[in-house]
Amino acid sequence: MRKVAVVGVGETKFSGAQEKTSVELFGEAAAEAIAESNLKPKDIQALFLGNVLGDFSEGQGSVQAFAAESIGCAGIPANRYEGACASASMAVRDAFMWVASGFYDIVLAGGVERAATMGTALATRTFSMFSDSRYEFPSGITFPAVFAMLAHLYSAKYGIPLEKLKEQMAVVSVQSYKYGMFNPKAHLRKEVTVEAVLNSFMVSTPLQLHDCCPFSDGAAALVLASEEVAKKLTSKPVYIIGVGQASGGPLVSQQEYLPRLRAREISSKQAYDMAGVTPQDIDVCELHDCFSIASLIAAESLGFFEFGKAGEAWMKGEADIGGKVAINPSGGLKSKGHPIGATGAGQVYEITKQLRGEVEPERQVEGAKIGMTDTLGGDGSTLVNMILERGW
């Protein structure tokens, strides 16, 4: 297998409902990534694109083929990936494997979504399609309700009184908002206090509005190249040194393993083993904080903190810049936003910028050498992890 580098990245601002089409959004991110790579569209050999709900948000299927043609890559193979909120990470992982295998030298990967365009009612309906439609949707399950139930289960299983857990969860949201304020690409840029989190609208008990990420529009794109090609294109290649992906069944079928998500533990072990690193080696991690409780669950399964202890870690600043591991200095899904088909590529965008030392000083993790992404699809149905390393 050959070494594979990220040689260029691009990203639109993540936002609320806006009027650019999915093709236009992805095209802007892709053009930025291709230009940053010192390449032309004709150099791209294949496109791997995450897009979950284009069929519902703008009545558009096959966005991958139309995007390829629109940006000047007509004729190349273009694949669309759907793994709920992990779609773009699936696309990036597959792009990595095709370059690592030697089949391609230069590929474009990324994702696009117009989740905000759908509005809350349709977005809530379509997001619930990633729970079991036959055996769970009849009960009225929603995406917040899944994580709300995991929050109550977490409280009971680890013996943390709900009031205390809620305070820990609020601190998670506050930290994300703190960094999102300094990220010009972030959807929600405002200071939010613990009190504001705890006084916000109750979406699904115990999750309140500020425990939940927004529905966002946006796109992100990356150019991946073989080591040999990468060295000719950039003096700052960021290598993908480990990848993992795993799947899981419907929520109820995960039963006694909950609130842990087994797919994440399989996926992250693959990534750590392949990279030859441990959780202690990770300087910065963009993890899937679709809900505040999801951050705690993720950070524990990734091996950063003991089970049941992640909330305390956040309270002590151990998940902050300067702590054990800097988590979500982009603002995370909570503040940066969650255009679901693009989110994983957005995480790789952030890690690449962090390792290059190119983000705003208020949220730069100084000297970061190894970074990680964690992307969750549905309620554990798809998990993708990637580990990246500074290549100079």
List residues near another protein by CB under 8 A: 120-122, 124-125, 128-129, 132-142, 144-145, 148-150, 152-153, 155-156, 162, 201-207, 250-253, 255, 258
Within 8 A by CB and 6+ apart from 254, the residues are 248, 261, 262, 379, 380
* Residue 161, SS3 per DSSP: coil
How many helices, marked H, and strands, marked E, lie in the chain?
A: 15, 12
Residue 31 or 122 having the CB closest to another protein? 122
Distance CA 246, CA 95 (A): 17
Least gap, CB of 200 to another protein (angstroms)? 12
Secondary structure of residue 308 in the 3-state scheme = coil
10 Å CB burial of residue 339 (0-12, 13-18, 19+) is buried
Least spacing, CB of residue 123 vs another protein, in Å:
9
Q: Which is nearer to another protein, 52 or 68 (CB)?
A: 52
Active-site residues, by number, are 85, 338
Among 301, 306, 285, 274, smallest CA distance to 351 is for 285
Nearer to another protein, 140 or 322 (CB): 140
Query: Which two three-digit tokens encode residue 245?
Result: 């992906």
In terms of CB distance, is 75 or 161 closer to another protein?
A: 161
Between 145 and 386, CB nearer to another protein:
145
Residues whose CB falls within 8 Å of the CB of residue 125, separated by 6 or more in sequence, listed in order: none
Q: How far is the CB of 137 from another protein (least distance, A)?
A: 7
Q: How far is the CB of 386 from another protein (least distance, A)?
A: 30
- Which stretches of the chain are DSSP H helices? 22-36, 54-57, 63-70, 87-100, 119-127, 143-158, 162-180, 194-198, 227-233, 251-254, 262-275, 292-301, 310-315, 332-335, 343-356
Nearest-approach distance from CB 204 to another protein, in angstroms: 5
Instruction: Please state, in angstroms and rounded to a whole number, the distance separating the CA atoms of residues 203 and 295.
Output: 18
Do residues 111 and 50 make contact, with C-beta atoms less than 8 angstroms apart?
A: yes
Residue nearer to another protein on the CB measure, 37 or 128: 128
Shortest distance, position 334 Cβ to another protein, whole Å:
17
Q: N- to C-terminal Cα distance for the chain?
A: 20
